[in-house]
Structure 1
Amino acid sequence: MILILSDENDDSVRMVVPELVKRGAEFLWWDPGGYPARTTMSSRLTGGSWRHTLRIDGRAYDCSRFTAIWNRHPTHSQAPEPVTDANHRKYVEKLATILLRGWEHTVESRWLPARTMDILRTQNKLVNLGVAAGLGFATPDTLVTNDAEKLIPFWEETGGELIAKEVEFVEFRIDGEDHSHYTTPVTRRRLTDRHRLALSPAILQRYVDKAIELRITVVGDRVFAAEIHSQGSRATRIDYRHYEQTFSTYAIHRLPRDVEERCLRLTAALGLHYGCIDMIVTPEGEYVYLEINPAGQWGWIETATGLPIAAAIADWLVAADPVQVRTLP
């Protein structure tokens, strides 16, 4: 049986479910956010190993039966409704999260892309940028700092061609309004605000000229590359996430063999079976690595290009249990 860990409203899972049905695969779609509010979990240490049982909607599941686990996009643990005090709820939900991490670590299965702790480790840009550079990827000259005195020397070193990024894309609220930071050019005028670096560290990188951007989705040993034509609009030129669906166009991209093989080596080196890699192709044709998102979105790429990513995910999930799955007609 395949276990899918994700929000019940996850459109990406909805794209893969029909592919699993075609393959005759047995699967359970469960959101760990329902633990402990709507799910029970029992873990028994016996015979030298843990035996875990999930009870969901009155049915018990032996976790040793899960041949593959897709750690897609689970929500945070929720305390039961009778726990009304805010501090008490926070306490219960923290304990539940701790136990879920232990459960993940002790369930023997194939994980796509990996267990949560490994996802958190590998999506850290200091980690994956360093691994990518060690594998021979071209990477932008990068400085990560909260030392305001480092900004001007680095800005001068790049000839003023400098951009700033968040350490991780995190939405936040100020005075009740949603905020998020996108990639931003560091202009001469912005240097006067350099004291703000002391409030929160940032990633500073030499700006790389773009012909196109690439979103490369790796599923197991399969690589799907899509072009993002972001340079046709000022709104998407620096960061295509600005109005990407409005101004950017997409196409399938044929990677050079060495770049494709390096993408596979990167996911393997990070211990991942899936990842979304962002790259730039410069006007001179150089491929420059930016980052990997171990749990990145791919549905919009499949919709725009027709790349069979959902089918590849389904193939990977069923591969460990061929006896239980009938062949596609």
Structure 2
Amino acid sequence: MDGRPVLVCTEYEDATADLVIAELNRRRVPVLRFDPGRDFPAPVVLAARIGAGDTSRTKSGGWDGRLTVGERTADLSAVRALYHRRPSPYPTNSGEQAARFAAQENRRGLGGVLGALPGCLYLSHPQAIARAEYKPAQLDAATRAGLTVPATLITSDPGEAKQFCSEQPTIYKPLHAGAYEVEGEPAGIWAAPVEAGEIDGAVSRSAHLFQAQVPKVADVRAVVVGEQVFAARITAPPGVVDWRAEYQSLSYEPVACPDEIRGALVRFLAGFGLNFGAFDFAVTADGAWWFLECNPNGQWAWLEDVAGLSITTAIADLLENGASQHD
């Protein structure tokens, strides 16, 4: 593959990645797309070398060699950027010991090399994304960055939960937005109000996140690419706590991000080593922005369309330039 390529790691059906790839193609930036969890060890083939005995090693050091996808090959030492979007997990659900061993070797071999490429910009690094997905770490980082965070309790103690809920209007939200089914059908677990009288011994079965309910008049999703911030005000019908449960009833408009919030978002991402984040805020009648959470690999394509935000261009710029202060 001629030129310094951009690697795109994502699942087969990813319309969001398609937008970025189309823009990079328009700019004639070489792109190699694959899904590590499904495509390795075939059709993806890895041959990576490092160490004093490697005569092909580049002057800059680090991993050298090639990554081949079908008939296309990328020089590992020349990768300008890696876009870690939504790759499938390396399969480990097989009951066969050999298959489980191979899956872990693939994850640590291919995944390890892809995470240690010399001179490569990551949007974002898989390990940085994984660290930032922990809500307790997010809330701590947001507080340290200067963002306003609602009172929050994480507990497995029903008594603590009941006391917290009796002190103020409270919502419950999951700590991880994992797959969940109800009667065999996919279902979302949205943030929802909870009262002290609803708390029972079931709280002791796992960690629970309870948070003071912000008296919001709207929400904001702020998408940060590098140091650029794209924000949209989201208005839901009255009484809706979690706007994600009412997509068809929402209205959107672009909104300017206050300077103090912008600076805090950049500091938040820098602390985790991220080049991207999709932040959610609750906005009160006095215009205050209350931090709720950050998805370090969140969706944004629908927001670009409905609010007229040029996020695709910003991501393509970052990947094409292959350099960032957060590297």
TM-score calculated relative to the size of structure 1: 0.87
1:243 corresponds in structure 2 to 246
2:49 paired residue among 44, 50, 56 = 44
Task: Output one character per residue of 1:76-95: Cα deviation in whole Å (capped at 9) or x when no partner.
Answer: 2359xxx9865543332222
Aligned letter for 1:225?
A
Q: 2:280·2:291 contact (CA, 8 Å) conserved in 1?
A: yes
2:135 corresponds in structure 1 to 125
Q: 2:166·2:196 contact (CA, 8 Å) conserved in 1?
A: no
2:10 corresponds in structure 1 to 6
Cα separation, 2, equivalents of 1:146 and 1:74: 32
> After superposition, where does 1:28-107 map in structure 2 within 5 Å?
28-33=32-37, 34-47=39-52, 49-78=62-91, 86-107=96-117
> How far is 1:44 from its partner?
2.0
Task: Output one character per residue of 1:109-144: Cα deviation in whole Å (capped at 9) or x when no partner.
Answer: 444432211101012111111011012110010111
Matched, 1:223 2:232: no
> After superposition, where does 1:129-144 map in structure 2 within 5 Å?
129-144=139-154
- SS of the equivalent of 2:313 reads helix
Aligned length: 310
Cα separation, 1, equivalents of 2:40 and 2:251: 41
2:219 corresponds in structure 1 to 213
Extract unaligned runs of 5+ from structure 1.
322-329
- SS of the equivalent of 1:93 reads helix
Cα separation, 2, equivalents of 1:41 and 1:279: 42
Cα separation, 2, equivalents of 1:171 and 1:233: 28
Aligned letter for 1:44?
R
2:210 corresponds in structure 1 to 204
TM-score calculated relative to the size of structure 2: 0.88
Task: Output one character per residue of 1:236-265: Cα deviation in whole Å (capped at 9) or x when no partner.
Answer: x11111021x11111001122211222122
Percent of aligned positions with the same letter in both sequences? Answer: 28
**What is the aligned-residue RMSD (CA, Å)?**
2.2
Q: 1:212·1:228 contact (CA, 8 Å) conserved in 2?
A: yes
> How far is 1:21 from its partner?
2.3
Cα separation, 1, equivalents of 2:231 and 2:265: 11
> After superposition, where does 1:314-325 map in structure 2 within 5 Å?
314-320=316-322
Matched, 1:178 2:183: no
Aligned letter for 1:156?
S
Q: Classify 1:133/1:225 alpha carbon distance in 2 versus 1 (closer, same or farther; 3 Å).
A: same
Q: Classify 1:180/1:320 alpha carbon distance in 2 versus 1 (closer, same or farther; 3 Å).
A: closer
Q: Classify 1:16/1:60 alpha carbon distance in 2 versus 1 (closer, same or farther; 3 Å).
A: closer
1:168 paired residue among 176, 181, 191 = 176
Q: Classify 1:84/1:294 alpha carbon distance in 2 versus 1 (closer, same or farther; 3 Å).
A: closer
1:297 paired residue among 291, 296, 299 = 299
Q: Classify 1:62/1:154 alpha carbon distance in 2 versus 1 (closer, same or farther; 3 Å).
A: same
Q: Classify 1:303/1:86 alpha carbon distance in 2 versus 1 (closer, same or farther; 3 Å).
A: farther
- SS of the equivalent of 1:242 reads helix
- SS of the equivalent of 1:77 reads coil
Aligned letter for 1:56?
V
Task: Output one character per residue of 1:202-238: Cα deviation in whole Å (capped at 9) or x when no partner.
Answer: 11101101111000000112110001102x244xx11
Task: Output one character per residue of 1:246-294: Cα deviation in whole Å (capped at 9) or x when no partner.
Answer: 1111100112221122212221222111110111111121111111111
Aligned letter for 2:125?
R
Cα separation, 2, equivalents of 1:84 and 1:150: 40
Cα separation, 2, equivalents of 1:278 and 1:101: 30
